[in-house]
Amino acid sequence: MSLHCQKSAKGDKVNTHKFKADIHQDREDSEAMAIEPPFFEKYKAILQSSANEKEKPSTVEGFEELELPLIDLSHLNLGPLERQECIEKMGQAAIEWGFFQIVNHAVPDELLNRLKQEQIKVFQQPFDKKSENNFLNLSVQSYRWGNPLATSLRNLSWSEALHISLKDISKMDEYNKLRSDAIRHGPLLLSSSPDQCHCGLSYPMSTIEEYAEKANFLAQRLAEYLAQNLGIKANYFQENCSPSSSSLRMNRYPPCPYPSMMFGIIPHTDTDFLTIVSQDQVGGLQLKRNGRWVSVKPNPKALVVNIGDFYQALSNGVYKSITHRVIANQETERYSAAYFYCPTYETVIESCSKPSLYKKFSFKEYREQIQKDVKATGDKVGLSRFLL
């Protein structure tokens, strides 16, 4: 396992006058570019307050860079011994790390490349268009940026995202159908795969829909393999999860002028069973391991998998939902796509063994508790709310 130190990003110490000048200049540049969220306008008070401080507290220091445990899923198709060893390696990574990476996962590189191009097309739209309530015919607040509840640099997220409930993908398809003249006169906003057509309109399956189908199938398989180590019945996830209950979040992390003082995404755990992440090679993902932050070395051939809160509760604390974050980058934008494998809102999650660490709760109850905590404290409290 490679182990080396990642140097802290440039710009740790910033002259107060230069900081204020940069805020003004970068705001003008952002307005000129049109596509960028108005970070400097929205968080002007936070940024200027920080600029007035004599000392600039560094949020991001140097960190060790580690390679996540690597699972080759092709071993599942070999003999029974190799298959069992692969499943056990998955379970051990979920116990010790809460994270692992997978190769030979049956999601084609060509599809992942197309998904990346879709993200670029979406986020290169003018900010005024992205922030419309009906952007791409999606639900309100599908497009998100920053952190509306930020009160300091420590909880400011320098990123934008398109969070798509899978039941909304059909709305995106309808959006493109209504723009079908673009098939004749130019490219659609969302490109398509030639594999499947809808309604006789010569409109193929969208890249996002195609990826979501494959990611959902992969997530279900991984969840079932991990369940074997715990004695959970094989059809648990088929009974309690459906594609329409899961979601896809496409992320963009713009270059950040002061990466040592703020995050791309603030520290958090995931509210789901499993998350499957496709990321580029810029890097920036960090997780908390043995009480300290470590950086994850990007692997160009792998998808990253992490355990969510619900699997930690279901496993009675055996599998770990680990706090993670994304650091900001001063020079290069970063893209990632996270598929959140979730149960239906009515699903009751109960520890698989006794004595239970957690009381029973439904997805709906969990989400409502998160919303209360975020409103009251500015942060997600999570599973500790449900400890017995």
User: What span, in angstroms and rounded, lies between the C-alpha atoms of 311 and 220?
Assistant: 12
CB neighbour burial string for 212-232, b if at least 16 within 10 angstroms, e if fewer: bebbbebbbebbbbbbebbeb
CB neighbour burial string for 7-39, b if at least 16 within 10 angstroms, e if fewer: eebebeebeeeebeebbeeebeebeeeebbbeb
Tokens of 305: 């998998």
Question: Does residue 335 contact residue 252 with C-beta atoms inside 8 Å?
Answer: yes
In this structure, the chain runs to a length of: 388
Tokens of 36: 């960028």
Question: Does residue 175 contact residue 136 with C-beta atoms inside 8 Å?
Answer: yes
Closest CA relative to residue 282, chosen from 3, 39, 9: 9
Helices 16-33 and 44-52: crossing angle in degrees, nearest 10, is 160
Q: Which of 289, 325, 334, 385 is catalytic?
A: 334
Tell me whether residue 200 is exposed, middle or buried, using C-beta atoms within 10 angstroms of its C-beta: 0 to 12, 13 to 18, 19 or more: exposed
- What residues pair up with 4 in beta bridges, in sequence order? 65
Q: Tell me if residue 334 is catalytic.
A: yes
Residues assigned a catalytic role: 334
